[in-house]
Structure 1
Amino acid sequence: MVLVMYSNEKKEVEIMTQSHEQDVRVQILDSFLTTPHRRFEELAPLHNSALERDPLFYGHLAGWYFEKGSVRDHKVLFIAHLMTSAYPEFRGAAWMLLQNLAPYEVARVLDHSKQVIGKAPRSLKSAIAHYLKTREQNIRQFDGAALRARDDLKHLYASLRIKPGPRAQAILFDEQPPADSPLAALKQLAKAKDAEEQAQIILKHKIPYTTAVGALKEITPALLTTLINAMTPQEVINNMAALKRRGVMDDREMKALVERKLQEAQSDKRVSAFKARVAAEAAELSGEIARQLEAVTEAQVKKQGRITRPTALLIDKSSSMHEAIDLGRQIGAMLSLICERDLLTYAFDTQAYAVQAQGKTLADWEQAMLSVYARGATSCGVALQAMMQEKQRVEQIIIVTDANENHAPLFRDAYTAYVEQMFVKPEIILVKVGQTSEKIEVAGKALGVVVNVFHFQGDYYALSNLIPLLSRPSRAELIDEILEYPLPERQVAHV
């Protein structure tokens, strides 16, 4: 009898331990997937906490996030915190991951390790020394890095007292770049007066658009065509507004060249999903170019996952919620691309208004929400009430709001009724904008429902972080996927 009691108690302890681990991992995961772009020192406590609470999960999450995540700041911080941890296998993983960064990101790893974490171990110096040596051995790679990130490379060599090779010394510190280097070519470009000679220099040395423009006093249409030819698809997108100002969209040949670059961007892994959409809006583009930029966003979003569960999007349109309405359009256009079922959408104040887009583009969503204006009080439960009346059953709900509900039905009451009537307990993804309240989080905790919070602060690039939250059948399955993700290993002894 005693043995049976002991066995039951042991199982209960194991179950409680597993449940606690799962809860901690859910909290860590949600924090990383929903934290938008912010300053490093504000994100550091999140990394410290995750590493201390569950080192195993944090280590695997770092590798997984490098492939799946979209906020670069997190990738930099993962390396810095793994590299300065007490675990040799983590330092080895960070050593490998660092080799994939751009020079400016490596400089940020070093600065964060020194200034915020307070240490720069030998393993970090070893990783950076290998990073620099590898690039020195590849002349084209080193010269390209020096052209784009000269100050960052100098910072790495000088801060860690790493002796540069002869070419690095000449380019970075002696300011006497070899005749075959892009930096020497840049000096030639500034002196060259013949457009054909300038074009040859740009193409031969792949001088970036912004660098070339800064060196040239005059840019002719022929030279501008050369510059566009030399640009990557992402560079074309990043400089769309500047290209428009220079008349590129009014020239048939140059416009056709831009369109070809945008076609390439749809399959380019280095292109950000939302930069194309932001570029179109910033440059106030229309017509075929705008449609192609939208196609780039669509293609990149579709690569990030599929949403299989029935999903609802609820958009707060009460007074002052202009930002929520605009953000709702963006989220609706993004999610409708990857939903295997129709995305159920309502705008709400004290009443619920069904929104039905006729297509999946941002223009379709703008058209569908033309009559949606910010006004009235706030009931975060009224859309759930409407869904009950229509017998609309969903398993996850995105609510774009400041959560300052002040009118019945309140979220807690409507959610309780929805669960009882529809026999489902949907997860809640709360996208918070403006001056926010914690009313929905408090209600969710009392009801025992998962509420994932995404604080939107104007960074549209971070919106794609919502996709991993929505595209897995369950949070447990996503956690299992992360834990199975292999930790990068060095093939040499750890430093």
Structure 2
Amino acid sequence: MTMTKTEADLRLSMLNSLLTCPHRRLGLVHPLHTELVKQDPRFYVRLAAWYADHGDVRDHKEMFIVTLALSDFPGHRDTGLAMLRELPPYQVGRVIDFIHGRKEDVAIEVDRKPDDVPASAFRPKVDRKAARGKKPGKPKMAEGGTVTLTDTFGLFRNVPRSLKTEVVRYLREREADADWFDSTAITARKTLKRLYALLHVKPGPRAQAVLFDERPPEGSKLAGLKDLAKAETADEQAKLIAAHNVPFRVAIGLVKGATPKVLTALVGRMSPQEVINNLEMLRKRGAFDDAGVKALIESKLESAKTATRVSAFKAEKALESVPVSAAVRQKLEAVADSQVKARGRIARPTALLIDKSGSMSQAIEIGKRLGSLLAAVADKELFVYAFDSIAYPVESAGPELSAWERALTGITAGGNTSVGVGIDQLRRKKQFVEQIVIVTDEGENAEPRFVPALQKYREELKADPTVCFVKVSGATSQLEDECKKAGIAVDAYQFNGDYYALPNLVPLLARPSKLELLQEILEYPLPARRTE
């Protein structure tokens, strides 16, 4: 299949839009997906399948399913429903909730009642201190109080019959396996109850007993959970956690003490990502003081290298915030390195240019993380410069984030902006690259200018590097517009402040060309809906 330039540009813009992380506010990405599926429905469904396997942001994965489940384009619903079956229950619940819509009352503290808020929504603050010692009567009211407002979430549409059918199959599949259902009920009880109630699904006997009658069968995990809550000693709780395989995030709220036996039972039930996320809590509870518990933590970190649901940047965040031993630090660094490398290798010489001009402190922070990210996956040369009106070479001792922080020590935001000065340095030093990544707001007010500098670089080094802008908050499209006028193709990714979305760049930079990536997505196999 041959793509025209217009088709390729459209599809690249669809890819570029996925470098966002709305933090569970699906309403922020719904208009984007609605527009994308209209622009190119055939590419959109392939992109959804590809992103389900290669993407990082759960909100986008959920919104792909919402959009496909509501689409009238042939084949979209079946693909969306096939993808739904692979989600954990809490994400299935979020998909259904967003389509059905939900209202929640939110209490907000205010200094005084707003004029446009009805009295029924306002609860005055009672000044108990002023009323103390006075005769019984109405206490004095303070000026402020609490305003209760109704927050709406979702589309407020009828859930399609096909989607309801798939959720029923999803629930019945879990009901058919008692251990699986009990494990799901422990971690997603509210979600399961809402799915049964919202979609008017009659629960099976076990679901009825566990979720609605509060009578879990004897010997089940749910019954074990009740025993765990009643246990008098920490050692007894440790035995029950191990015997019933109680998940860490449930057990941690019930344990009475942090003995080595309890910590061993907790860590044994933790996923590699949970260990990384809770290192500080484990440290404070003395987990590293016991040789056995410490060894178990280290084995979990070892398995995190190849685990499918581990975030590289969360491992790096743990390195920043948790004081751990050199051995544990080394394992965390290995986790981050392995997880980044698993996303692909960059086989093209690359330049990273970091804008350090006035108000560009965010660009410097992104530059540290991108430098660490690219260094970990680069098989060819990586040249890095921080620039304002002059370019500062940045050389790191290694791919670790700490190494890049040291390399950028003393580089602070300030000065005018010449994006072309970094390109000029590449040209003067005869540094041949095939792609250039620039972290910037696209503002430019000093010579040499970017477009003329790039044209000169291409001419002298006989190179034709691709250009990728990583745009920080408040960025314009100044340089993109100038590139278009000069006939230079560029990609641009809007960074919205979430560093966990940055690994999405790796698959996009790892391909020899963006056209090859688009072709890979266009040929990506679609998941098939199960026949029951």
Alignment of 1:199 onto 2:238: yes
- 1:367-446 matches, cutoff 5 A: 367-446=406-485
- 1:270-349 matches, cutoff 5 A: 270-285=309-324, 287-349=326-388
Alpha-carbon distance, 1:175 to partner: 1.9
Instruction: Quote the Cα distance in structure 2 between the aligned partners of 1:367 and 1:281.
Output: 13
Q: State the TM-score, normalized to the length of structure 1.
A: 0.91
- 1:58-137 matches, cutoff 5 A: 58-115=44-101, 116-117=154-155, 118-137=157-176
1:19-66 deviation digits (Å, cap 9, x = unpaired)? 33222222212223x233442111111211111111110111111111
Give the equivalent residue in structure 2 for 1:487: 526
Alpha-carbon distance, 1:231 to partner: 1.4
Alpha-carbon distance, 1:103 to partner: 0.8
SS for the counterpart of 2:352 is: strand
1:146 to 180, 185, 188: 185
Identify the range of structure 1 (254-263 vs 435-444) with the bigger mean alpha-carbon deviation.
435-444
Answer yes or no: is the 8 Å Cα contact 1:36–1:455 preserved in 2: no
SS for the counterpart of 1:60 is: helix
Q: Higher relative CO (CA 8 A, sep ≥ 6), structure 1 or 2?
A: 1
Alpha-carbon distance, 1:280 to partner: 2.4
Give the equivalent residue in structure 2 for 1:218: 257
Answer yes or no: is the 8 Å Cα contact 1:425–1:449 preserved in 2: no
SS for the counterpart of 1:391 is: coil
Q: Which amino acid aligns with 2:52?
A: F
Instruction: Quote the Cα distance in structure 2 between the aligned partners of 1:364 and 1:64.
Output: 33
Alpha-carbon distance, 1:105 to partner: 0.5
Q: Which amino acid aligns with 1:162?
A: V
Alpha-carbon distance, 1:144 to partner: 1.2
Answer yes or no: is the 8 Å Cα contact 1:84–1:119 preserved in 2: no
Alpha-carbon distance, 1:416 to partner: 2.8
Give the equivalent residue in structure 2 for 1:35: 20
Alpha-carbon distance, 1:88 to partner: 4.2
Q: State the TM-score, normalized to the length of structure 2.
A: 0.85
SS for the counterpart of 2:253 is: helix
Runs of 5+ consecutive residues of structure 1 not aligned to the other structure? 1-13
Which structure's residues are more often strand, by fraction? 2
| Higher Cα radius of gyration | 2
Q: Which amino acid aligns with 1:75?
A: K
SS for the counterpart of 1:214 is: coil
SS for the counterpart of 1:344 is: strand
Which structure's residues are more often helix, by fraction? 1
Identify the range of structure 1 (484-493 vs 188-197) with the bigger mean alpha-carbon deviation.
484-493
SS for the counterpart of 1:347 is: strand
SS for the counterpart of 1:429 is: strand
Instruction: Quote the Cα distance in structure 2 between the aligned partners of 1:106 and 1:371.
Output: 47
1:273-293 deviation digits (Å, cap 9, x = unpaired)? 322112222324452212211
Compared CA separation, residues 342 and 251, structure 1 to 2 (3 A): farther
Compared CA separation, residues 458 and 27, structure 1 to 2 (3 A): closer
Alpha-carbon distance, 1:142 to partner: 1.3
1:366-424 deviation digits (Å, cap 9, x = unpaired)? 23222322232222111011111111221211111223322222223322322333333
Instruction: Quote the Cα distance in structure 2 between the aligned partners of 1:456 and 1:30.
Output: 10
Answer yes or no: is the 8 Å Cα contact 1:81–1:113 preserved in 2: no
Instruction: Quote the Cα distance in structure 1 between the aligned partners of 2:233 and 2:192.
Output: 32
Alpha-carbon distance, 1:491 to partner: 4.9
Alignment of 1:57 onto 2:96: no
Instruction: Quote the Cα distance in structure 1 between the aligned partners of 2:530 and 2:281.
Output: 46
Aligned length: 478
Instruction: Quote the Cα distance in structure 2 between the aligned partners of 1:162 and 1:136.
Output: 13
Q: Which amino acid aligns with 2:252?
A: V
Identify the range of structure 1 (242-251 vs 82-91) with the bigger mean alpha-carbon deviation.
242-251
Identify the range of structure 1 (312-321 vs 257-266) with the bigger mean alpha-carbon deviation.
312-321
SS for the counterpart of 2:398 is: coil
Q: Which amino acid aligns with 2:431?
A: Q
Instruction: Quote the Cα distance in structure 2 between the aligned partners of 1:491 and 1:102.
Output: 17
2:398 to 359, 362, 366: 359
1:262 to 266, 287, 301: 301
Instruction: Quote the Cα distance in structure 2 between the aligned partners of 1:327 and 1:243.
Output: 29
Give the equivalent residue in structure 2 for 1:11: none
Alpha-carbon distance, 1:429 to partner: 1.9
Give the equivalent residue in structure 2 for 1:188: 227
Identify the range of structure 1 (395-404 vs 447-456) with the bigger mean alpha-carbon deviation.
447-456
Alpha-carbon distance, 1:319 to partner: 3.0
1:290-339 deviation digits (Å, cap 9, x = unpaired)? 22111111111111111112211111222332322222111111111111
Compared CA separation, residues 247 and 318, structure 1 to 2 (3 A): farther
Compared CA separation, residues 340 and 479, structure 1 to 2 (3 A): same
Identify the range of structure 1 (170-179 vs 63-72) with the bigger mean alpha-carbon deviation.
170-179
Instruction: Quote the Cα distance in structure 2 between the aligned partners of 1:172 and 1:479.
Output: 46
Instruction: Quote the Cα distance in structure 2 between the aligned partners of 1:285 and 1:375.
Output: 35
1:474-493 deviation digits (Å, cap 9, x = unpaired)? 11111111111111223549
Answer yes or no: is the 8 Å Cα contact 1:186–1:215 preserved in 2: no
Instruction: Quote the Cα distance in structure 2 between the aligned partners of 1:448 and 1:113.
Output: 43
Give the equivalent residue in structure 2 for 1:4: none
Q: Which amino acid aligns with 2:20?
A: T
- Identity level (%): 47
Answer yes or no: is the 8 Å Cα contact 1:37–1:462 preserved in 2: no
Instruction: Quote the Cα distance in structure 1 between the aligned partners of 2:163 and 2:216.
Output: 28
Compared CA separation, residues 182 and 311, structure 1 to 2 (3 A): same
Compared CA separation, residues 18 and 99, structure 1 to 2 (3 A): same
Q: What do you get for the CA RMSD once the two structures are aligned?
A: 2.0
Answer yes or no: is the 8 Å Cα contact 1:316–1:400 preserved in 2: yes
Compared CA separation, residues 291 and 22, structure 1 to 2 (3 A): same
Compared CA separation, residues 22 and 457, structure 1 to 2 (3 A): closer
Alpha-carbon distance, 1:356 to partner: 1.5
Compared CA separation, residues 208 and 315, structure 1 to 2 (3 A): same
Instruction: Quote the Cα distance in structure 1 between the aligned partners of 2:479 and 2:21.
Output: 20
Instruction: Quote the Cα distance in structure 2 between the aligned partners of 1:209 and 1:452.
Output: 43
Runs of 5+ consecutive residues of structure 2 not aligned to the other structure? 102-153
